[in-house]
A and B are shown apart, each in its own frame.
Chain A
Amino acid sequence: MALNRDESSPLFAGSVAGTLRLIVYLALACVLMVLDHRGGWLNSVRYGLSLIVEPVYRIAGLPSQGFHAATVAFADRQRLTEANQRLREDLLLANAKLNRMASVAEQNARLKELLDTQHSLNLNVQLARLIGVDLGTFRHRIVLNVGARDQVKPGQVVIDARGVMGQVVDVMPTTSVAMLITDPNHAIPVTVERTGLRTIAYGSRAGDMLTLPNIPVSADVREGDKLVTSGLGGRFPPGFPVGEIREVAQTPSGMFLAAQARPAADLDRSEDVLLLHDLAEGAGPPAPATSSGPPADLAMPPQSAAPTLPSVTSPSVTPVPANATSSSAIAPTGTP
């Protein structure tokens, strides 16, 4: 039997040199980790190396893309027709709702202008697509196919048709990585829609739920309550659905109520998502108002008093191709 008995692989005793090398490499790894954790220049290293990383992401995303294409190709005609029909109905319903909302939005905009607030209903968004890449099993990250070249910046909010999904944390030239709201390191300021109670929803360590660990015991929170973003903290704009409360219980200490909520967004099914462009107002006090009283164009109302018809009749999204640099605006914009 040919036993391999040279120094590089001794049968029993290890060499001191090997241990030394191990220690050196482990120390190197630790130094790297600490430097990376402290942030700073390693991010730019990663940005530079994205030249290698991004093509790999695209290639690694191919199988899931192919799988998706295959399911579409082999889906039978009837199912597709059904899906098409359903989508058509949804669109019709959504358009009808939006049409009704447009007039309300217009009225709202007008009233807000009278109040001279800076809130607006403008949605400045950019369409993005997911790339099917697995960044570790319990990491709650998604890869999007837009990056710094499409003016994506860290901190931008990612939403889908149903609610908030997360925020961009890492931007490379043509891809970006977003952290989902279910990540244990993520927190999002929310209000309970029914009562207006403000609290914070954290990601949970077990899978796809949100936890709200510190609700006052006296608060009125029920199963089925909807959570929307509160807009506090200046990152997430107010009014977007976040989730729905599924369970409320007392914490073991008895000081607070803790609730579990299910995210409103389809975190593991969405394929197309929207990136919001700087919507939230920054933290801190608002800039001092320069002029008081109604804006100039509202000062002479007689001729515009009669029609309160919406100027925007059917607001619709014009989907931007992912690599387009411009961003589209979703109506209702409500400019008088």
Chain B
Amino acid sequence: MNRQRIRLLWFVATLVMSLFLMLIPLPAPLMPLKPYWPALVLLYWCLQSGDRVTLGLAFCVGVGADLFDGVLLGEQALRLTAMVFIALRFRSRLRFFPMWQQSLAVLGFLLNDRVLLLLVRVLGGDALPPAEYWISPFVGAALWPFLFLILDDLRARLRIHEA
């Protein structure tokens, strides 16, 4: 029971952390390199415990992120829901990919996400973004193995602590 609760807490804490990471500013030259943290953490949880991540949760996280960002309400909800849907669809296969292949898959997800964002922005009347707009998915994919290993390690430690 207690263990269950700790796991749930850890799950929620990572998601909240990802939202914070999204808001924390980087020095100006590094700005375009910032990965889309909520997406990465959601993807991790998709692969690790797919029963906990549902489309509804992705939607809620997205709406929360929209509230914080002050963008169009529903924009990130749309993006995250679409991404989680694809990730859950291919979850069983993704889990058995070696790390580099997983990274490539994550790159695909993030690029797809950027395309969606571009569609929403352009339909909403914004101008086309500059070329650096496309760097962030690559950074995200490069960080994926590290993020995955760190989160996995922390999760394992928590479980040992509890047992």
Residues of A that sit less than 8 Å from B by CB: 3-5, 8-11, 14, 18, 21-22, 25-26, 28-33, 35-37, 42, 45-46, 49, 52-53, 56-57, 59-60, 63-64, 132-139, 141, 170, 177, 184-185, 205-207, 268
Q: Which of B19, B69, B74 contacts A36 (CB 8 A)?
A: B74
**CB-CB nearest in chain B for A204:** B127
Contact B85 A22 (CB under 8 A): yes
Contact B92 A29 (CB under 8 A): no
Known: A56-B20, A138-B129. 13 other contacts (CB 8 A): A4-B92, A5-B92, A26-B78, A28-B59, A29-B81, A32-B74, A33-B75, A42-B73, A56-B23, A64-B24, A133-B24, A137-B31, A205-B128
- Whether, in the assembled complex, B105 has its beta carbon less than 8 Å from a beta carbon of chain A, the answer is no
- Whether, in the assembled complex, B91 has its beta carbon less than 8 Å from a beta carbon of chain A, the answer is yes
Q: Which of A9, A18, A49 contacts B85 (CB 8 A)?
A: A18
Choose among A28, A35, A136 the residue with the greatest number of B CB atoms under 10 Å from its CB.
A136
How far apart are B121's CB and chain A's nearest CB, in angstroms? Answer: 9
Q: Which of B22, B25, B78 contacts A132 (CB 8 A)?
A: B25
Q: Which of A8, A33, A139, A170 contacts B73 (CB 8 A)?
A: A33
How far apart are A290's CB and chain B's nearest CB, in angstroms? Answer: 44
B79-117 interface code vs A (CB 8 A; 1 in, 0 out): 001100100110111000000000000000000000000
Q: Which of B50, B62, B68 contacts A8 (CB 8 A)?
A: B50
How far apart are A66's CB and chain B's nearest CB, in angstroms? Answer: 11
- Whether, in the assembled complex, B149 has its beta carbon less than 8 Å from a beta carbon of chain A, the answer is no
How far apart are A300's CB and chain B's nearest CB, in angstroms? Answer: 56
Which B residues between 104 and 163 are near A, CB-CB below 8 angstroms?
120, 124-130, 132-133, 136
A133 contacts across to B, CB distance below 8 A:
23-25
Q: Which of B20, B73, B92, B124 contacts A9 (CB 8 A)?
A: B92
Q: Which of B51, B67, B75 contacts A53 (CB 8 A)?
A: B67
Residues of B that sit less than 8 Å from A by CB: 19-20, 22-26, 28, 31-32, 34, 50-51, 55-56, 58-59, 62-63, 67-75, 77-78, 81-82, 85, 88-89, 91-93, 120, 124-130, 132-133, 136
Asked, given contacts A11-B93, A56-B20, A60-B20, whether A36 binds B72 with beta carbons under 8 Å apart, the answer is yes
Asked, given contacts A4-B50, A25-B59, A134-B34, whether A59 binds B74 with beta carbons under 8 Å apart, the answer is no
A184 contacts across to B, CB distance below 8 A:
126-127
**CB-CB nearest in chain B for A205:** B127
Contact A59 B126 (CB under 8 A): no
Contact B130 A25 (CB under 8 A): no
How far apart are B35's CB and chain A's nearest CB, in angstroms? Answer: 11
**CB-CB nearest in chain B for A268:** B28
Contact A29 B50 (CB under 8 A): no
How far apart are B155's CB and chain A's nearest CB, in angstroms? Answer: 17
Asked, given contacts A29-B81, A33-B74, A205-B130, whether A53 binds B34 with beta carbons under 8 Å apart, the answer is no
A14 contacts across to B, CB distance below 8 A:
89
